Amino acid sequence: MNTPTKLGSYLLGVSVVFGSALGIGRAVGPVGAPAAGDHSTMAAPTASEGHGQQAIEQANEVAPGGLEVSADGYTLTPLTTTIKPDTPTDFRFTLTGPNNKPVTDYQVQHDKKLHFIVVSRDLNSFQHLHPVETGGGVWSVKLTLPAAGAYRAFADFAPAGGDGLTLGTDLLVAGDYAPEPLPPTSRTANVDGYTVTLDGDLIPGKASKVTLTVSKDGHPVTDLQPYLGAYGHLVALRARDLAYLHVHPDGEPGDGTTRSGPEIVFYTEVPSTGNYRLFLDFQHEGEVRTAGFTLSADQTTPTSTVAPGDHGH
């Protein structure tokens, strides 16, 4: 897989597989909640699985989302243009489709038709919000941006009958702006008395396993609560350009094998070396909390999570 030609043909074959899999998923099940289930199952390879799952995963992650305001015929258009620092704002926007009309028909993914992620461009603040439909394809969300500066908002959605995509737009808040450096590399995050540790490495171009372990006051948390159909949601963003990476939980509540903590397992693939900021949302005792991590993806990282017989050496 060292030459561009080989990589190209490999990915082409893979795309076909991925497309077929999606087609089957849609054909056999109703549009809605099952789509999210199919998604997680399909994109959660284990070490015992062969090239197929790995390949599907790779095809899905080759082009990072969130870097464009318009893609595949869909466009994110903010209707609210002024946001003041630290002031709740009714932020409204539309997602228009290939026919230039606002999309009103969506698939449900992880319990919601639309996931709206807002981060500061310096990656020091993170919000995962769920806008509501106000009619005519207009979305509304109460948004508070903590301080003046530059922010990036991501709309993560799947139009009915289409593939999922993530569009991104900048949000600018006037005022004195003091950007913070990227938080230093850390595999431990503390939030509200919880400690979350991260095991696993980010490997450019390969799906790898990332395990997050939640404890509270030194004790493992074994009664995490399902939040949006999973015990945790992980968003990964590449430092500098804020490429938005899909991260898939391994298993879901009620599938008979996935335990409610203390470990939450994800599979992710980063497209390049560099620094990444990861944000985990988890729910315990009725409250959702967010733990943030900074990791560096290094080409020389031992590829311990690669399935036996994989092409890469």
Considering the complex, state which of residue 114 and residue 297 has its C-beta at the smaller distance from Cu ion.
114
Quote the CA–CA distance of 50 and 61 in Å, as a whole number: 18
Instruction: Give the SS3 label for residue 22.
Output: helix
Considering the complex, state which of residue 115 and residue 121 has its C-beta at the smaller distance from Cu ion.
115
DSSP string over 182-222: PPPPBSEEEETTEEEEEES--BBTB-EEEEEEEEETTEE--
Kindly state the smallest distance separating residue 283's Cβ from Cu ion, in Å. Answer: 12
Kindly state the smallest distance separating residue 126's Cβ from Cu ion, in Å. Answer: 12
Site for Cu ion in 114-173 (CB under 5 A): 115
Site for Cu ion in 191-250 (CB under 5 A): none
Considering the complex, state which of residue 68 and residue 281 has its C-beta at the smaller distance from Cu ion.
281
Kindly state the smallest distance separating residue 237's Cβ from Cu ion, in Å. Answer: 15
Considering the complex, state which of residue 165 and residue 203 has its C-beta at the smaller distance from Cu ion.
165
DSSP string over 245-281: E--EESS-TTSSS--SSSEEEEEE-BSSSEEEEEEEE
Site for Cu ion in 35-94 (CB under 5 A): none
Residue of closest CB approach to Cu ion:
115
Cβ(76)–Cβ(169) below 8 Å: yes
Region of 300 (left: φ > 0; alpha: ψ -120 to 50; beta: rest) is: alpha
Kindly state the smallest distance separating residue 248's Cβ from Cu ion, in Å. Answer: 14
Kindly state the smallest distance separating residue 185's Cβ from Cu ion, in Å. Answer: 26
Kindly state the smallest distance separating residue 6's Cβ from Cu ion, in Å. Answer: 37
- Report how many residues bind Cu ion under the rule CB under 5 A: 1
> Could you give the C-alpha distances from 62 to 4, 111, 220, 271, 275, in angstroms and in order?
14, 25, 35, 7, 17
Kindly state the smallest distance separating residue 107's Cβ from Cu ion, in Å. Answer: 14
Considering the complex, state which of residue 115 and residue 277 has its C-beta at the smaller distance from Cu ion.
115
Considering the complex, state which of residue 115 and residue 206 has its C-beta at the smaller distance from Cu ion.
115
CB atoms within 10 A of CB 98: 12
Instruction: Give the SS3 label for residue 290.
Output: strand
Residue from 32, 102, 89, 21 nearest 55 by CA: 21
Mask for 106-125, x = binds Cu ion (CB under 5 A): ---------x----------
Binding residues for Cu ion, rule: CB under 5 A, are 115
